[in-house]
Structure 1
């Protein structure tokens, strides 16, 4: 099997990516924890490209990276690329977001996931972005998921991400949509070692 380095130290993210890439002849491997990549991009796609390219060059292997987060219309796109750093814990991040949103009637938001794949040379061969539109609820609902999932409501499913089965979430989520666009092109890639 060909090795594909996942530009994260998070085993949960590796497992999630593995689910989307099932049936492909790639073995996903976490990047070494000591290899830190500073996310200096101003968009999700810039950060995904930066991480994939940097890890690929550092290890001389194929690499995949994603960058994702929540953008709330009434907050001018915040928390955006700072979604994971919006508080110390998921609960802190949710509480801060709800406080900043207050009683604003505009609850429109979107989850964005950008994915990039790099050759060992650092050149990006594939990039894509998936967007899931929804609304921010005034209080959390559901027991599943993580991050902002309990307050992100998807009208077409009439559920929050935290209320969805993993199968449903994998189909309709920003990450699911990004991988849906990426997979056909990924399967056609000509890989040189």
Structure 2
């Protein structure tokens, strides 16, 4: 079994990645607490590659990282790579986004997730991206999920991410789509490397 360091200190994200990678011959572990990676990229993919590469080089192990966020069309793609820093709490981030959108009629938005896998030398072996299209509601709905989930509405399902059962959200979400694209490549990589 190959050790794969997840470039995060968040145990929840580790568990989520384990669920996506179940059945593969990888043992996932969190990055060391004292290893901080500054996200200086200007795209989700640049940040995912940066985190995966730096964690791989620091640990000498395979590393995986993701970077994700919400991009709102009427706000020229904001909050984008700054989604997590748009406020101190989820409630503040939602409030700021709704305030900035105001009465804008174009509520189209997308959640984007970039995933990168780095070899122990820091070179990027794989990268994928998943996008989930939706709309921003004028008020939160639902109690599940986190972040912008209560205002991110998926018209085909007639639900916000916060109203969805976890399995449904996992299958539709930007992160779910990124990992669905990654899995076949990851299986091939295991056979090649």
TM-score (norm. length: structure 2)? 0.98
Aligned length: 193
SS at match of 1:14: helix
Find out whether 1:58 has 2:58 as its counterpart: yes
Structure 1 pair 191/120, CA: closer, same or farther in 2 (3 Å)?
farther
Match of 2:75 in 1: 75
Quote the RMSD (CA, aligned, Å). Answer: 1.1
Match of 1:122 in 2: 122
Distance 2:123 2:104 in 1: 43
**Where has structure 1 moved over 4 Å in runs of 4 or more?**
none
- Cα deviation, residue 2, structure 1: 1.3
Within a 5 Å distance, the mapping from 1:104-183 to structure 2 comes to 104-183=104-183
Distance 1:173 1:104 in 2: 25
SS at match of 2:132: strand
Deviations 1:122-163 (A, max 9, x none): 010100100000000000000100000000000111100000
- Cα deviation, residue 89, structure 1: 0.3
Match of 1:12 in 2: 12
SS at match of 2:125: strand
SS at match of 1:189: helix
Gaps of 5+ in 2: none
Match of 1:46 in 2: 46
Match of 1:97 in 2: 97
Match of 2:184 in 1: 184
Match of 2:37 in 1: 37
